[in-house]
Amino acid sequence: MSARPNLIAGGVLSGTVLALAALSLVWVPHDVAALNIAERLRPPGGPHPLGTDHLGRDMLSMLMVGARSSIAVALVAVGIGMGAGVPLGLMAAAARGSWLDELVMRMNDLIFAFPALVIAILITAILGPSALNAILAIGIFNIPVFARVTRGAALSLWTLDYIRAAELAGKGRVRISAEHVLPNIVNLLIVQATIQFSLGILAEAGLSYVGLGAQPPTPSWGRMLAEAQTMIYSAPRLAILPGLAIVLTVLGLNLLGDGLRDALDPRLRRTTR
Amino acid sequence: MPVLRQVSLGIGRREIVGLAGESGSGKSMTALALMRLLPEGARAEGRIRLDGRDLMDLSERQMCRRRGRDLGMIFQEPMTALNPVQRIGDQVAETLIVHGEATRAEARRAAARLLHRVGLPPERFPPGRFPHELSGGQRQRVCIAMAIALRPQLLIADEPTTALDVTTQARILDLLKALVAETGMGLLLITHDLAVISGLADRLAVMRAGEIVEEGPAATVLTARRHPYTSALVAASAHSPATVPPPPGPPLLEVRDAVRTYPGSRRGLIGRAPPQRAVDRVSFAIARGESLGLVGESGCGKSTLARAVLGLEPLQGGEIRLDGTAIRAGSPVPGQVRRRMNAVFQDPYGSFNPRHSVARLIAEPFHLTGRPADAAARIDETLLAVGLDPTDRTRFIHEFSGGQRQRIAIARALIARPDLIVLDEAVSALDVRVRAQILDLLADLRARFGLSYLFISHDLSVVRSITERVLVMKAGRIVEEGATEKVLHDPAHAYTKALLAAAPKLKEPD
Amino acid sequence: MLRYALTRLLSLSLSLVAASLAIFAAIEVIPGDPAAYMLGLNAAPETVAALRDELGLSGTLWTRYLDWISGLATGDMGLSYTYRVPVADLVTERLAVSLPLAAYALALSTAIALPVGLWAAARRGRAADLGIMAATQLGIAVPNFWFAMLLVLVFAVKLRWVSAGGFPGWEAGLGHGLKALTLPAVALALPQAAILARVMRSALIETLGQDYIRSARAKGLSRAQALRRHAFRNALIPVLTILGLQFSFLLAGAIIIENVFFLPGLGRLIFQAITQRDLIVVESVVMLLVFAVILVTFLVDLAYAAVDPRLRRR
Amino acid sequence: APPDTITIGMVLEPPNLDPTSGAAAAIDEVVYANLFEGLTRFAPDGTVAPGLAASWEANEAATVYTFHLREGVRFHDGTALEAEDVVFTLDRARGPDSTNAQKALFEGIESVAAPDPLTVTVTLARPDGAFPFKMAWGDAVIVAPETAGTEASAPVGTGPFRFERWVHGDRVELLRNPDYWGPAPALARATFKFIPDPNAAFAAMMAGDVDAFPNFPAPETLPQFEADPRFRVIVGTTEGETILALNNRRPPLDNIRVREAIAHAVNRQDIIDGAMFGYGTPIGTHFAPHHPDYVDLTDLSRHDPKKARALLAEAGQTDLTLRLALPPPSYARRGGEIVASELRAVGIETEIVNLEWAQWLDQIFRRHDFDLTIVSHTEPMDIGIYARPDYYFGYDRPDFPALMDRLAGATDPAERSEILKAAQRMIAEDYVNVYLFQLAKTGVANAKLEGLWENAPTQANDLTAVHWTD
Ligand SMILES: Nc1ncnc2c1ncn2[C@@H]1O[C@H](COP(=O)(O)OP(=O)(O)OP(=O)(O)O)[C@@H](O)[C@H]1O
Ligand SMILES: Nc1ncnc2c1ncn2[C@@H]1O[C@H](COP(=O)(O)OP(=O)(O)OP(=O)(O)O)[C@@H](O)[C@H]1O
Ligand SMILES: [Mg+2]
Ligand SMILES: [Mg+2]
């Protein structure tokens, strides 16, 4: 059918970011832990294609390593959300209407009722600021999202006759959930995961912007942005580059999510009926 | 890709023209083309003349003025054809208001009158109701009221009764007939069910793959069947597989005083609606090798009973006995009992996990029995038995048509060699010709494997063709039971009589 | 309808109790002593102990929880440790900023998103729609604090149309108050509007595919009429859900924006109270926010019922 | 006519307005010399000047001080200031229920008496030449018994301004006190606006929302203001010795070689440039460089990575990993990154832990659970903290308290100076901490504003002399 511009643009954007982040694991142009005060605030060019920051670190390397922390935080947070939310959602759907279902859904509502940023701050106050706590704070709020999506999709599958057939074959709820329900909502979960991933990147940026995310010397986009803000006149690129990195990554992931939804949506795939 | 090819049709005043054909033949497209409401991407060519004026020449704005005033249309699915958040009276009144035929207040009064006319008297069905407060048949009446509000010259009804059960269907068809007589409008009645048309239409057009293959006075078309496709359709509608007399056998399944109650639906955290008895002290038996029919209106509890028999739902009272092993209410059905029963469900699309291969789908019942050593051979054998090819085993379900899927469902039901197969509306979703093939297959399999069937359907003609004995169910209870021929020819219970009277019949050729 | 509301109300109160326990427990395990914080680097231990007594930080867990809860129920939230004024007064002061800001931002985002979403849906697949969709994608991707910073740069620092931030108070006049809240509201509203417009559009497109739209068209309604009269109200349900979520986000999630514009709002109160270990303020305000969210959810549920008659009987 | 109102920007909001029970610098920044006055006060150059006491004298042994109060001083509530108020204030501050954050200031007092309404005599347990200095602190301001309990939210003092209102989270407003005993201030109204975010502070200053920001939080933007004729940048000194504190209790930091190695590993100028954008004066000991008794000991801890490595090797410390705890201010957070990178260069790995103040106080200050931390000690003349072995960095050399005892008893300026110099040397040679730099006071103000303090001998925004020019 049509070339899917969303999918392609999103794939290229997020692919590039992912690739750069992966590359930073083995190679960066300059060590970001080594400060060089004499080299501070160098304009782009020469050994520093994007210049250096106020502590003389190479901006390109900082952005690459920053991508890594953003992605790691968001990815693990999504992992937590899926790891806990999907089984909960499956369980709730399998036991639909029972107290278990009710309990899971009420817990979801309760988590949703807490303002996320406030919880992040509280967690940080209890455990101290770190990337781990950012992950925890973002991850907790991913759980109800996945639980809800999973339950909703699973509920509609449970009304289908192939589930009846599996019950006839004597399969239990757990087995049916794993064998018949989960594989058929995987598409939906992938789409949701990309969306949550992009939200996670934004959330991580916000948290590290207020100093609650990854801690120095680990670079993170949000903190780079926060630290450079006041230099917007003297060295605008310091604040603009990390901002741009966030925007492009989130944009890429959102486009990818949209593209995947279009590509995987069973409603669009289903033939004549 | 053309969907319709050179379709020509004429409809006179006060005339009812039937348009019949298999699913996907282009009937709906024809109707939508007439309304110029084709889905995005579709394009229509040719001429549509209404009272001499070519509708194709009109601008979209002019066309809007024609729709509803000169052309009315009702659709197949009454459950979704109405705006759920608007009162039915307002929806009917809207037809008058958008055409500037009445002020809001007048339109309201007119709507009330119209609703009364289509059988929704204001005392019982005030116009202030919302669609969800009405049954399917009642909603279809609202749609009809909406469509005839301005007495259009032509009413198009696209499968208006397919989603309704027989008694309701009969009433709606009567209403349409009366309206045609009363207002003098022409009616284009689209259906896949020849029997519906045979009792109603003056003329009949038969459509196949976007072409009208035969057209003429309804009686002539149905009896003369000049075109082979028409005769194939008629034959399939009336199809009756050669039934084998049941070998006298001991009772296989006995159900005694089965009760299934649903807790009332939740109302918030604490409240519940009162419980509802979907199956109310039902008793019956099926002999080994016997085919037992179960008929009744939608919602009377047929499926619930079937699920209870299959052990998919707990019973609140009574007992089920399979080949002597008793299962009492409250206790789960043991595996050895359950493996001797299997089922085929109505929806050929929702019955299969789209991610599993045919072989895996069919082999699912082995979960209970343990996978036999010759599983692969058994799968091939079963595929052959239902008329599919063993090479199909690696394919996925989306590669099959509805009829083929139903064969796969039957294969799945057969593979563990059960004694009893429950068929819940197993052929209702199929086209007549495909349905005929499946019915033949079922009869054949029964003869070969000595199977027993519990055959559930709302379609009496199907039940007649494949069962020896029939149960009639109403509101959770069995109201009549007996040999199929006898019950269907000479019903004892008033409800059965009503059911029979409502069922449309295809006139036998002389 | 009444019964529906009552049962929802019951589950609402259960949620509140659960929330209060969670908050209290969290506050209990936060390390750091308010008294020590207040007295700083040179304080002697007995001075800190004296202050602890004065603040009422001694007492068992249960009595303090019960004191707190019963206080909350009667509107008495106690005395702030650091400010030494009733927490209720602090909260009222801050709400006078946060609530109007949230409402302003919500109004803005709705006013932008609904027409834009409607327009895009009506022009589905055409250039205008694609343009709007691209713009909304960008709107979602831009972090709002970053956007806020740019707004300040342009409108306060460069053009000097408005203050860079701060809030003069409502007694300075409605106009001044609104002016001070405009940039923050815009910064909050635009990303929200992008989300809302997308939801509006897809909800409309979804409803436009429904059978009853076809019925309406068959009655003679034009495409636009069908959109307005039939699709709009049905599409409102997902939009309402998002609006409810957004309101709670705006009320509490505006912390960063409040910082950028140095607004004395609720979010900053919490932030500050946590760093100063003014725990009595933290627990009461978090509780209040949770209450607000649950209340908004409840109101959204009622609004569903108002929009969708199918929900009224349950 | 020039305006007679002013808006002053401040980073932190005071938690309350009672300087006698709370350590927050922000309290004094609002109330010191504006709302509240003590017996003595700090002059802008850091010397001790008469406050509510027009004069005072000490006996020969420096154990009895007699303060003569000014006449006609009234509290903002209209009551007159009397010697009994002073007695009350001092007794309250040193009493067992005292919540005064600097209780140590009053520790030496044995008794306070009011022989007549305008005379106060203070008897000390031990000689203390610095007692008038101690009475100049913000924590020693005089309050009246009737209002002492409510100063936190409704401060009543004797100063040139009286409290008007406090919009929590936003601003505190002060109004001119018409009954002030001294010369009337030029300003009729002063607003302190609280802007925690450096970027917001920058924007507020640029947009003209704030007239002056005496402690501007973003030194990197100062060149911007310098280039703009609308503004004046005021760079002065503070009493803030910024140090890389070492936990002297804990191995291997109990080894002087390791401490010396760390001192040589750190490049002060890099930290001043990188973290403070060039603002700050390098120090080599815990003493303010603008003080006449300051000794420049920076050479003792020259930047010398080679020597640092050698010392570490000598101490047998290779593969050292230390935890560096950083409180919120940017000197600590930015400086910490630089310190970490410089320590790595000599083979010491660091694990950075960022802490809020409350956590820092709990973990480092109270429980001494740390290896390294960066903090600025902003109290004036606070070298005495090295005499407290239970203090957080754990310096425990008996010679030092002895030195301080001598200092307390000395009234001869030359002798005092000698002792102070010896003290500076002792801690520098023991490499107790790494002395980084003296925090600069970097302020920005409207160019038309005059009379703001240039230096910060104490945390204060004394508005008495502030006025606008045309
Ligand atoms: N929106 C569409 N886009 C493309 N092809 C379509 C669309 N809708 C229907 N078709 C195709 O047009 C053909 C005719 O469809 P139509 O709906 O008219 O059949 P029908 O005779 O009404 O069948 P049924 O009895 O199932 O309603 C079918 O082959 C179908 O696949
Ligand atoms: N899970 C359930 N919970 C509550 N009520 C149910 C449930 N399933 C079915 N019912 C109710 O039980 C009654 C019988 O339903 P059932 O599906 O057995 O009818 P049916 O005769 O098979 O109808 P149809 O011909 O439409 O399939 C109906 O009134 C239905 O609303
Ligand atoms: Mg059709
Ligand atoms: Mg059924």
Verify whether the Cβ–Cβ distance D362 to C36 is below 8 Å: yes
- What is the band of B243 on the pLDDT scale with cuts at 50, 70, 90? low
Distance from CA of B447 to the nearest CA of C (A): 45
Which residue's C-alpha comes closest to atom 9 of ligand 1?
B29
Verify whether the Cβ–Cβ distance B268 to C309 is below 8 Å: no
| CA–centroid distance, residue B278 to ligand 2 (Å) | 7
| CA–centroid distance, residue B299 to ligand 2 (Å) | 5
Q: Which residues of B touch A180 (CB under 8 A)?
A: 353
- What is the band of B24 on the pLDDT scale with cuts at 50, 70, 90? confident
- The answer to whether the Cα torsion of B389, B392, B397, B398 is positive or negative is negative
Cα(D274)–Cα(D284) distance, integer angstroms: 19
Q: Rounded to whole angstroms, what are the CA distances from A236 to A41, C141, D220, D278?
A: 11, 20, 13, 20
Q: Is D40 helix (H, G, I), strand (E, B) or coil?
A: strand
Verify whether the Cβ–Cβ distance A117 to C267 is below 8 Å: yes
Residues 6+ apart with CB under 8 A from D268: D282, D298, D303, D436, D437
Q: Is the pTM of this model over 0.90?
A: no
Q: Which helix (H) or strand (E) holds B276?
A: strand B276-287
Chain segment B45-66, per-residue pLDDT in tens = 888 887 878 888 888 888 888 8
Residue B266 has a pLDDT of 54
| Whether B376 contacts A180, CB under 8 Å | no
Residue B244 has a pLDDT of 63
Q: Is D261 helix (H, G, I), strand (E, B) or coil?
A: helix
Beta bridge partners of D427: none
Residues 6+ apart with CB under 8 A from A267: none
What domains lie within chain B, and their CATH numbers?
Answer: 16-237 (3.40.50.300)
Residue C166 has a pLDDT of 79
Cα(A130)–Cα(B192) distance, integer angstroms: 67
Of A35, A128, A232, the CB nearest to D337: A35
Q: Which residues of B touch C14 (CB under 8 A)?
A: 269
Q: Please state which of the ranges B178-182, B242-246, B476-480, C120-124 shows the lowest mean pLDDT.
A: B242-246
Verify whether the Cβ–Cβ distance C290 to A114 is below 8 Å: yes
Distance from CA of A131 to the nearest CA of C (A): 18
Q: Is A100 helix (H, G, I), strand (E, B) or coil?
A: helix
Q: Quickly tell me which residue has 């955290």 as its tokens.
A: B269
Distance from CA of C196 to the nearest CA of B (A): 22
- D-contacting chains (≥3 CB pairs under 8 Å): A, C
Verify whether the Cβ–Cβ distance B94 to C221 is below 8 Å: yes
Q: Which helix (H) or strand (E) holds B281?
A: strand B276-287
Q: Are strands D53-58 and D48-50 parallel, antiparallel or unpaired?
A: unpaired
Q: Which residues of chain A have pLDDT under 50?
A: 1-2, 267-273
- How large is the angle between the packed helices A59-94 and A99-113, nearest 10 degrees? 150
The whole-angstrom distance between residue A2's C-alpha and the CA centroid of its chain comes to 28
Q: Is A265 helix (H, G, I), strand (E, B) or coil?
A: coil
Residue C42 has a pLDDT of 62
The tokens for B70 are 């000169």
Residues in the 5 Å CB sphere of ion ligand 3: B 28
Averaged pLDDT, B451-464: 87
Q: Which residues of B touch A179 (CB under 8 A)?
A: 353
| Whether B50 contacts B63, CB under 8 Å | no
> Is the minimum distance from the CB of B476 to ligand 2 under 6 angstroms?
no
The answer for A46, left when phi > 0, alpha when psi is -120 to 50, beta otherwise, is left
Q: What is the CA radius of gyration of chain C?
A: 24
Where helices occur in B274-343 by DSSP H, the ranges are 302-309, 335-338
The residue among B53, B441, B508, B460 whose CA lies nearest residue B241 is B441
Residue A132 has a pLDDT of 85
Mutation target among B50, B59, B64, B80 for the C interface, most CBs of C within 10 A: B64
Q: Which of A39-48, B189-198, D243-252 has the highest mean pLDDT?
A: D243-252
| Whether A216 contacts A65, CB under 8 Å | no
Q: Which residues of A touch D328 (CB under 8 A)?
A: 211
| Whether D323 contacts D351, CB under 8 Å | yes
- The answer to whether the Cα torsion of C228, C234, C236, C239 is positive or negative is negative
Average pLDDT score, chain B:
85
Q: How many other CB atoms are there within 10 angstroms of residue C128's CB atom?
A: 14
Chain segment C52-91, per-residue pLDDT in tens = 777 777 677 788 888 888 888 887 888 888 777 888 888 8
Q: Which residues of B touch A159 (CB under 8 A)?
A: 350
Of D101, D171, D362, the CB nearest to C43: D101
Residue B26 has a pLDDT of 85
Q: Quickly tell me which residue has 């005089």 as its tokens.
A: D142
Please identify, by atom number, the ligand 2 atom nearest to the C-alpha of residue B473.
21
The whole-angstrom distance between residue B231's C-alpha and the CA centroid of its chain comes to 22
Verify whether the Cβ–Cβ distance A161 to B367 is below 8 Å: no
Residue C251 has a pLDDT of 74
The whole-angstrom distance between residue D274's C-alpha and the CA centroid of its chain comes to 23
Averaged pLDDT, B86-111: 90
Task: Provide, rounded to the nearest whole percent, the portion of chain C with pLDDT above 90.
Answer: 8
Residue B461 has a pLDDT of 81
Residue C40 has a pLDDT of 67
The tally of CA atoms less than 13 A away on the side-chain side of residue C81 is: 28
Residue B510 has a pLDDT of 43
- What is the band of B428 on the pLDDT scale with cuts at 50, 70, 90? confident
Chain segment B328-360, per-residue pLDDT in tens = 777 777 878 888 899 998 888 888 988 889 999
Residue A273 has a pLDDT of 25
- What is the band of D265 on the pLDDT scale with cuts at 50, 70, 90? very high
Q: Rounded to whole angstroms, what are the CA distances from B326 to B310, B318, B320, B340, D210?
A: 13, 10, 6, 14, 89
- B-contacting chains (≥3 CB pairs under 8 Å): A, C
Residue B388 has pLDDT above 70, yes or no: yes
DSSP C38-85: HH-TT--HHHHHHHHHHHT--S-HHHHHHHHHHHHHTT---B-TTT-S
> Is the minimum distance from the CB of B24 to ligand 1 under 6 angstroms?
yes
Q: Which residues of A touch B412 (CB under 8 A)?
A: 165
Of D224, D340, D345, the CB nearest to A233: D224
Chain segment B250-291, per-residue pLDDT in tens = 888 999 999 998 876 555 445 556 777 888 899 999 988 889
Cα(D297)–Cα(D300) distance, integer angstroms: 6
| Whether D261 contacts D304, CB under 8 Å | no
DSSP D290-305: TSTT----GGGG---H
Averaged pLDDT, D336-363: 87
Mutation target among C23, C144, C146, C314 for the A interface, most CBs of A within 10 A: C146
CB of C15 within 8 Å of any CB in chain A? yes
Cα(A88)–Cα(A80) distance, integer angstroms: 12
Residues 6+ apart with CB under 8 A from A270: none
Residue A32 has a pLDDT of 81
Residue A270 has a pLDDT of 36
* Burial D142-165, CB ≥16 within 10 A → b, else e: bbbeebbeebbbbbbbbbbbbbee
